[in-house]
Amino acid sequence: MTVTIYHNPACGTSRNTLAMIRQSGEEPVVIEYLKTPPGREELVKLIAAMGLPVRDLLRQKGTPYDELGLCNPDLIDDQLLDRMIAHPILINRPIVVTEKGVRLCRPSELVLDILPNPDIGPFTKEDGEVVVR
């Protein structure tokens, strides 16, 4: 199985995660999800595989979260999924899929738990934070 990352190149966490994957020796399938968003069925499968409530995958910062009233606790999962499909920027990232599982990698070093080779050696994030395992 290959490693797949749902990636936003404008996101530092996503860039760091992609760099860690590559430093592990993997060349992942990179899906720029804003250009090629997952369909509803794929998104539901990803969320189920992560074991997250749908609401936990919603991104607030830099999105129309507030304008769409997504803080309303009465919204059900189907309504939240509808909004994520209509506005992919609402899908938090990066999501990484490997043979070891599916993970929302925030912070980026969470990817190490699901990489086939998590021993990436020394790694420094874009902000200067050193990741040591």
Tens of pLDDT, residue by residue over 28-53, are 999 999 999 999 999 999 999 999 99
Q: Tokens 């992919």 map to which residue?
A: 88
Reply yes or no on whether the pLDDT at 133 is more than 90. Answer: no
Has 11 been annotated as catalytic? yes
120-132: average pLDDT: 91
Each residue of 109-133: b (16+ CB within 10 Å) or e? bbbbebbeeeebeebebeeeeebee
Which residue among 3, 11, 20, 47 is the active-site one?
11
**Nearest residue to 38 (alpha-carbon basis) of 79, 13, 7, 59:** 7
**CA distances in angstroms from 131 to 6, 21, 79, 100, listed in the order given:** 21, 13, 38, 21
Domains and CATH numbers, the chain: 4-131 (3.40.30.10)
In this prediction the pTM is 0.95
In degrees rounded to 5, what are phi and psi of residue 52?
Answer: -105, 150
